[in-house]
Structure 1
Amino acid sequence: MKVLLVEDDKTIAAGLDYSLQQEGYDTTICHDVACGKKQIKGNKFDLILLDVTLPDGSGYELCKMVRERSDTPIIFLTACDDEVNVVMGLDMGADDYITKPFRIRELISRIKSVLRRYQKDDESKSIIELGNIKINILEAKVYKNGEEINLTALEYRLLLTFINNIGQVLTRNQLLESIWDVAGDFVNDNTLTVYIKRIREKLEDDPQNPVIIKTVRGLGYKVGG
């Protein structure tokens, strides 16, 4: 779990660095906005802790920069609990704030709480439902009416291609490119037809009249939309 800490007080930063590492976090420390920007541009973090007041700017500037790029969790560390400052930070997209001085256990608790919220969001996004079909992306499992359906690696990869492009018509060439090297075998146009037929037999209530993987005549195939 990678954490970026931007804090100009080097004593506080060193203490937080030690405590976070003891909790198993991989920390990167910055003491100003310039360093923070460099790290945000060049690395991906799981959580960002921002001091509000920095020698060359403010944490708000970094928060705005992060939100333009991602939904990475952000917690403000502030010496001022003035309502205007707190609201400003939250309105800019921060997930929480903690007022200095604070106990390290309180900060760790806040961090875990924020990360749990994001984990739940990620889990909800990982479940795709198409009628009576449910695809759990995290587990790479497919269910029909609550019962698991066994798909081969190629069949699952093909289904995943459709899921990642819901509502879009995919040509046969696009589908072939998506599954080309999965099995290490040559996949030709006829093989693609066979795999789509197999997936329909496993997922559709009536494979002869598919409602999940639809044929768009002259163009290709489409799921949803």
Structure 2
Amino acid sequence: MIKIAMVEDDTELACVLTQYLKQFNMEVTNFEEPFLALSSLNLHSYDLIILDLSLPGMDGLDLCKEIVKKHDVPIIISSARSDITDKVIALELGADDYLPKPYDPRELEVRVKTILRRFNKNSQTTPELNKKTFEFDEDKKEIRKNGEYVKLTAAEYEVVLLLLKREGFVVSRDEIFENSDLLNSDYDNVGSLAVIINRIRQKIEANPKQPEFLQTIRGMGYKFVQ
């Protein structure tokens, strides 16, 4: 999992970017306050920082300078400030890229991957940018965990496949029934679905009672995370 610290006081934008990057094995922790970000950087390790410039309490350029002084971590400036001087100063201070707002989240994703590949080119601890714990092959009707085939029944496979396709998002029980031919015909109640979920966890989780991947979202449904 690639760990990213974001310093962004626009909570709506931060939420959108966090959800988007999550599907690419990137875990984003957002900080609305610059000083909270600095404190976290002293306590935790991050692979990359996404930094806004217009922040409460401290200008983003000053924050960039503080980060570069104390931490060896790549920085992407994400800012609505269009002054070329800001861009030049940010890059001179040590930022690795400057992305003017507004932008498509897909461009941010590509830039993150590009910078991390370059930054970790000579490192033995290069984060895996695309590799995920679970992968599926619809043609072969296979689910694999860390490259190893997971033996599932047809009904279990349908449930896991649907949740993997919606990875990171909550899928309701009704939606699972609606998207499964086998469950519609063979399992017609929530209790039976719970049994199937439990069987899946027995096969994919290290501790089925405390699932890491197939999570229950109380009152809403299930979510697959990795």
Query: Could you tell me the TM-score, scaled by structure 1's length?
Result: 0.52
Output the amino acid matched with 2:31. Answer: C
Equivalent residue number for residue 26 of structure 2: 25
Output the amino acid matched with 2:23. Answer: Q
- Pair 1:48 & 2:49 matched: yes
Residue deviations 1:175-197 (CA, integer Å, cap 9, x gap) = xxxxxxxxxxxxxxxxxxxxxxx
Q: State the alpha-carbon separation in 2 of the partners of residues 50 and 76 from structure 1.
A: 5
Q: State the alpha-carbon separation in 1 of the partners of residues 91 and 31 from structure 2.
A: 22
SS in 2 for 1:54: coil
Q: Say if 1:36 and 1:62, in contact at 8 Å, map to a contact too.
A: no
Output the amino acid matched with 2:10. Answer: D
Residue deviations 1:108-167 (CA, integer Å, cap 9, x gap) = 1111111111122436xxxxxxxxxxxxxxxxxxxxxxxxxxxxxxxxxxxxxxxxxxxx
Quote how far apart the aligned CAs of 1:5 are. 0.5
Q: State the alpha-carbon separation in 1 of the partners of residues 47 and 60 from structure 2.
A: 17
Residue deviations 1:62-109 (CA, integer Å, cap 9, x gap) = 222221222201000010232100000000100001000000001111
Quote how far apart the aligned CAs of 1:31 are. 0.6
Pairing 1:66-145 to 2, within 5 Å after superposition: 66-122=67-123
Compare relative contact order (CA 8 Å, sep 6+) and give the higher one, 1 or 2.
Answer: 2
Q: State the alpha-carbon separation in 2 of the partners of residues 122 and 110 from structure 1.
A: 19
How many residues are aligned here? 123
Residue deviations 1:189-217 (CA, integer Å, cap 9, x gap) = xxxxxxxxxxxxxxxxxxxxxxxxxxxxx
Equivalent residue number for residue 131 of structure 2: none
Q: State the alpha-carbon separation in 1 of the partners of residues 94 and 122 from structure 2.
A: 16
Equivalent residue number for residue 145 of structure 1: none
Unmatched segments (≥5 aa) in structure 2: 125-226
Output the amino acid matched with 1:116. Answer: R
SS in 1 for 2:40: helix
| Runs (4+) off by over 3 Å | none
Output the amino acid matched with 1:103. Answer: D
Query: Could you tell me the TM-score, scaled by structure 2's length?
Result: 0.52
Q: Say if 1:73 and 1:94, in contact at 8 Å, map to a contact too.
A: yes
Q: State the alpha-carbon separation in 2 of the partners of residues 64 and 42 from structure 1.
A: 18
RMSD: 1.2
- Pair 1:3 & 2:42 matched: no
Q: Say if 1:6 and 1:51, in contact at 8 Å, map to a contact too.
A: yes
Matched-pair identity in %:
37
Pairing 1:163-174 to 2, within 5 Å after superposition: none
Equivalent residue number for residue 188 of structure 1: none
Q: State the alpha-carbon separation in 1 of the partners of residues 115 and 55 from structure 2.
A: 24
Quote how far apart the aligned CAs of 1:35 are. 1.4
Q: State the alpha-carbon separation in 1 of the partners of residues 46 and 63 from structure 2.
A: 13
| Structure ID, larger Rg | 1
Q: State the alpha-carbon separation in 1 of the partners of residues 5 and 95 from structure 2.
A: 14
Q: State the alpha-carbon separation in 1 of the partners of residues 122 and 49 from structure 2.
A: 18
Unmatched segments (≥5 aa) in structure 1: 124-225
Q: State the alpha-carbon separation in 1 of the partners of residues 84 and 22 from structure 2.
A: 31
- Pair 1:61 & 2:62 matched: yes
